[in-house]
Amino acid sequence: MAEEDEDSSLERVLQRHRKEAKDLQAKIQALKHSVPKGDKKKKKEMALEIAKLEEDLSVRHKNELDSLQSDSSKENHKELDVTKEMESISITSGEGETHSRVSKAQKRRTGMQTLRKLAADYMLSHQDDFLPFLTDAKTGKLYTPDQFVQYCEEIAATASWGGHLEIQALSQALKLPIEVYQANAPVLRIGEDYDDRPLLLS
């Protein structure tokens, strides 16, 4: 039922957008006809005004759609909060003492390290699936098996940027779909074969 409401809401917005775009085209035509022939200054001013009107409408429409998608995403997906998952992990010192008070930042770091290690381990155990897609930036040649192992160790141990391959490995290791949210970019969905709520990353 909620899905139907969401679809009808989206359809209403798109319908309004089409009408507004049509109205703008009519306004643009009227502006073009209002400029006397041969008046280059007026023609230039009109072109700037038209460009601004089109840009404003485009930005407003995009923002409305983004907002609508964001709202539906919040309703439809409960975010899998890695830091909550990590609350069950206790950190033990060298002397064997368990520290129950762990800061949120430590939990987050521990959570990210766990996910990185999981992705790296999966890549190492499925080398044939990932090695053909990694090349040496200096030589342009494919990674050797030794370079691949080193690469995976860096993924697990450092804050090195993770890309599509690492997210794919993480999705396969967790057997979960993953959605990556980025500013000014569409949502990247990986592991859509898995029928479960997605892990949300940003």
SS3 per residue for the chain: CHHHHHHHHHHHHHHHHHHHHHHHHHHHHHHHHHCCCCCHHHHHHHHHHHHHHHHHHHHHHHHHHHHHHHHHHHHHCCCCCHHHHHHHCCEECCCCCEECCCCHHHHHHHHHHHHHHHHHHHHHHCHHHHHHHCECCCCCCECCHHHHHHHHHHHHHCCCCCCHHHHHHHHHHHCCCEEECCCCCCCEEECCCCCCCCEEEC
pLDDT of residue 21: 78
Q: Is residue 187 part of a domain?
A: yes
**Residue 85 has what pLDDT?**
44
Q: Return averaged pLDDT per consecutive 10 residues of the chain, 202 residues in all.
A: 57 79 83 82 83 81 73 48 42 38 50 85 92 89 92 86 86 89 84 86 75
Q: What integer pLDDT is reported at residue 182 of this predicted model?
A: 77
Range of the domain at 189: 163-201
Does residue 50 form part of some domain? yes
In a domain, 168, yes or no: yes
Domains identified in the chain, total number: 2
Q: Is 104 part of a structural domain of the chain?
A: no
Q: Is residue 44 part of a domain?
A: yes
Let me know if residue 56 belongs to a domain: yes
Q: Is residue 126 part of a domain?
A: no
Does 91 map to a domain?
no
